[in-house]
A and B are shown apart, each in its own frame.
Chain A
């Protein structure tokens, strides 16, 4: 019911919206909750477990009941709190967890079965038979219980992540927060003022209150106007600070456009729904206020039973009375304000029920002292309450009960680094421990100072203290005149009696559940929480935790401080995964590295394959080729018979200079590089410190003190880091410098019997057996561009790698393909490259898999006996050179089954196939078009000694059981004449 003349919303601007398909009208500035209450809608949803009808309990982010789903299709968003959702034209919201409708929910049958659904119900009921939990029980329970559901489709709405920095972060914009921000801003500090509400002012917008001799909201407006006029202040409304982390880092969730209709224009199409902020602050002031707590009594969850402070918010801020005949139930003076405000607005207040015998007199309304509410009626909306006093029980007709069990300071952030709060008996509440978070000062209601005057004064002082920690002196802004009403409370947690009295509305946990947990010896608060699921819903028990542990304390005969609290963890409010992972969807998941040849390759039919972050050509599909194998086989034969071109720029290239360059290479490689002649290249092996092989590659000596090292694509960064380690930590005295030049050079392999013809066609120098012998290198001029030529081969063919600065990469590649095609060749991709190297028995990281040694790979000769190297000592450990270690061999099929598969395991032909009889595994396989059958590389126990023997290959995954012959790992041209010639 809207009260004319009340509230801070604009009475002239109406907004149309729909709820559960029905159309309503609200006012600009309304939340969905205030607009629904104004329209007399109290039933918003069904509860989690029992499908009880539920309405609006609060007016803030702590709301446990009024969760709705907004949006359609993929953009559908569940679990939006109606108390935070601002109204916009065309807003359409739906109730959750009900079918077919919120008024007639068939699952409400659960409520009748309630006696079976108490604490620990799942654990006791669904234990047997084993295996039924996952298959049957869990899916059923998940269907019956729950909150909103996701659409199941990929949501394309934009989300965002961002960083922010400031001297002082002020969390909350109530009286304490505003004074803190004002004080710091006037001192010249860089201030961020974050407020989770859409409008700044905190409780000053919700109370009938005078500050500085004027209505509080006008004072708020003046302060905000001053803050807005200052360059050093950033106001962040709709931004909930969700976590406190080390070193002054805070996380925050900004609802950027939830309050706006879906974007219609191109400009706003990229407007994020939410932004996940990481704010780094020199210091912070926590002025997050307090959350009012309900009182547990039988049937205290009916729509129409609300927090007393929320009733005042709806009345004073939004001009809405949630009822026409209101009752108030409380244990503190604050609750009486609700009755006063309602009465002043012309709403009938039937009674104030105060559990205290010394409650103050009513001002125009009856006060029942020493009385409690013990029950309620009304299925979809509150109809009556039952009052118990010394005179017995009495029923009162009422459509709204405003309850207040007192206030809990919102101290959650102060516990995020592990601190526990302190119990204050006089407030019957926990308050934050000082210095719980380094650099954070707590002020106002969050610190247990519940009066407006107290909050204003503490807020200003907190900013002075916080800034002093940064070495900035500030003068506290003088606190304006405001009320300093004392907070008088006498604890009341639960009204004794039969029936279910709710503590946690969102997870449907009652007083009985908590006492039962205690009876079953779940006495620790953490055990009770997990046994009953109290505080484990999306509201994290903001309204219920303290009352629940008071009930637990009572049930276990301990004090509240002895019982302690559960742990508050980030985030303070539910944070969508979309916001936390913003930017990582689609292309944003990982950076993409492209070769200079990429476009030209695509034009030649290349299919991309991801190699780490790189996108390389897998194979080049020619017209008529329908299968990758056709392309791959053709490319292999092309290289073996004519010439092929492959972009190998992804290999790590490290430029190494300095007078100790050779010494560094002798240390890092197992073989010797100081003896390498200028203008020559050598293959080298690197060991890890533990003696296993780390990486392999070639290294060229350009002059006495200048080398260029090549790493595998996969290990480029690892090798770079390894060199940093060796030069910074192990040999800091050496004079050697190195730099990554991977991206500077576009480098292409030119391989095949016609390779030299092709190269001579492009470079000015005469490339022949003398100028560029096998493993030679040198400078060349490529069509006028200074480049490098290396005569190295990974295919076993006569081959070169030609390098030019990357700006010429695309042009050179185009030219290479053109000339290659004229010679009967063309491009080849990763698949063909892999076949070529397996045919030659060259290893990759399939073989250098972290468990193999140089000995295992048949490369012990590359570990120089004449010098030491990194990893050498540990490579000589006992057991690392035993004959029966798994060692590299080749495999070829000899039985009826001609298949070999990577990852298959190997056995003696006449043993059983068991873990114990496993003697090896296959590392690499391919179909060799050169040989006409499949071939593979494998690590086999005592492999070299089994050459010529038959071995059984079993791949359970692919269903292969085949006989193979163990052969030498080099299948093709074992003498190497083709590469050297």
Chain B
């Protein structure tokens, strides 16, 4: 029997319960902002092999409805998104990556490697301005823009997913610090009134 790693075989056999990266930490509501954990589904890191960039993009388009994103950009389709994740890497969020892609790119399952949260509310960029050294003004960092950057002392992936909403990812083990830092920033901005 072949299994996708991490996938449960059958519910009846399940004895291992799941714990999400931000379990017990979220959701939070402070000021006009909501901070929630995003259930990631599957996360697959897609790194094209030599010379396969175009073929991969076409295959991605065909299977997942989105081409390979340009640097600092992301694509969103129904229940799936594909974000640029560093040099020659993209992260597929939602469905598992189609097997057809395997000859074209290294596919690495990192579903459990990241804590993923969503910060939403008018002026969410003011909260992030306490932690992130990027220009996140709406006219500069538009919906669909994405960046690998630092959030305070952590390296992070930040994507503008909707108006007033950012998706923020850090390594799973850093979830507590992520929530701590964001909570502090939200409280400080909210306290100014």
| Chain A residues near B (Cβ < 8 Å) | 158, 160-165, 190, 256, 263, 267-272, 278, 280, 583, 587-588, 590-596, 614, 655, 657-659, 733, 735, 737-746, 779, 781-788, 804-812, 815
Contacts and interface: CB of A to CB of B under 8 A. Distances in A.
A165 B137 contact: yes
Interface stretch (B60-68, B72-80, B110-118): B110-118
Given A783-B15, A805-B6, A815-B16, A743 B135 contact: no
11 contacts: A158-B188, A165-B140, A190-B137, A268-B191, A594-B176, A743-B172, A745-B112, A779-B3, A785-B6, A785-B9, A786-B7
B3 A739 contact: no
B161 to A, nearest CB: 21
A162 B6 contact: no
A272 B19 contact: no
B191 A267 contact: yes
Given A658-B49, A786-B5, A741 B191 contact: no
Contacts of A659: 49
Contacts of B108: 655, 657, 739, 741
Contacts of B6: 785-786, 804-805, 807
A785 B16 contact: yes
A276 to B, nearest CB: 11
A164 B154 CA distance: 20
Interface in B147-192: 152-154, 171-177, 180-181, 184, 187-188, 190-192
A876 to B, nearest CB: 33
Contacts of B10: 784
Nearest to B89: A739
A658 B51 CA distance: 13
A737 B3 contact: no
B13 interface: yes
Nearest to B126: A162
A587 B187 contact: no
A934 to B, nearest CB: 34
B71 to A, nearest CB: 16
Contacts of A812: 16
Interface in B16-40: 16-21
Given A743-B171, A784-B14, A805-B6, A163 B129 contact: yes
B33 to A, nearest CB: 13
B113 A742 contact: yes
Contacts of B109: 741, 744, 805
Contacts of B19: 596, 807-811
Contacts of A742: 113, 171
A160 B188 contact: yes
Contacts of A808: 16-19
Nearest to B50: A735
Contact of A270 (B107, B110, B191): B191
A779 B105 CA distance: 22
A805 B17 CA distance: 11
A591 B155 CA distance: 10
A744 B192 CA distance: 39
B124 interface: no
Nearest to A158: B188
Pick the most buried of B17, B112, B154, B190: most chain A CB atoms within 10 A of its CB. B112
Contact of A805 (B107, B111, B180): B111
Contacts of A583: 130, 152, 181, 184
A761 to B, nearest CB: 12
A781 B9 contact: yes
A739 B129 contact: no
A744 B16 contact: no
A514 B93 CA distance: 70
Nearest to B7: A786
Pick the most buried of B20, B132, B153, B188: most chain A CB atoms within 10 A of its CB. B188
Given A735-B49, A808-B18, A163 B132 contact: yes
Contacts of A591: 152-154, 174, 177
A594 B173 contact: yes
Interface of B: 3-10, 13-21, 45, 47, 49-50, 88-89, 105-114, 129-130, 132-135, 137, 139-140, 152-154, 171-177, 180-181, 184, 187-188, 190-193
Given A742-B171, A785-B6, A810-B17, 16 more contacts: A163-B132, A163-B134, A267-B191, A278-B133, A583-B130, A591-B154, A595-B173, A657-B108, A733-B50, A784-B8, A785-B14, A787-B5, A804-B6, A805-B109, A807-B111, A812-B16
A751 to B, nearest CB: 21
B84 to A, nearest CB: 15
A587 B172 contact: no
Contact of B176 (A592, A655, A746, A809): A592
B16 A593 contact: no
Pick the most buried of B4, B5, B6, B173: most chain A CB atoms within 10 A of its CB. B173
A787 B16 CA distance: 12
A596 B110 CA distance: 15
Contact of A588 (B17, B110, B184): B184
Contacts of B190: 267, 270
Contacts of B174: 591-593
Contact of B17 (A740, A788, A811): A811
Nearest to B30: A270
Contacts of B132: 163
B106 A782 contact: no
Contacts of A614: 173
Contacts of B184: 270, 583, 588
A84 B43 CA distance: 54
Contacts of A270: 184, 187-188, 190-191
B45 A739 contact: yes
Q: List the 5 closest pairs (A to B, CB-CB), nearest first.
A: A744-B113, A737-B106, A784-B13, A805-B6, A271-B191
Pick the most buried of A591, A658, A812: most chain B CB atoms within 10 A of its CB. A591
Contact of B192 (A271, A595, A811): A271
A741 B110 contact: yes
B130 A162 contact: yes
A161 B16 contact: no
B177 A737 contact: no
Contacts of A737: 47, 49, 88, 105-106
Nearest to A232: B139
Given A162-B130, A658-B49, A811-B19, A739 B188 contact: no
Contacts of A740: 113
Contacts of A164: 129
A807 B20 CA distance: 6
A741 B113 contact: yes
B184 to A, nearest CB: 7
A278 B132 CA distance: 11
A709 to B, nearest CB: 13
A750 to B, nearest CB: 16
Contacts of B13: 783-784
B171 A593 contact: yes
B8 A588 contact: no
Contact of A743 (B106, B112, B154, B181): B112
Contacts of A594: 173, 175-176
A588 B188 contact: no
A737 B88 CA distance: 9
A278 B131 CA distance: 11
A784 B130 contact: no
Contacts of A165: 135, 137, 140
A739 B106 contact: yes
A587 B109 CA distance: 31
A805 B5 contact: yes
B162 to A, nearest CB: 20
A785 B8 contact: yes
A745 B106 CA distance: 18
Contact of B112 (A588, A738, A744, A783): A744
Contacts of A655: 106, 108
A592 B16 contact: no
Nearest to B11: A784
Contacts of A735: 49-50
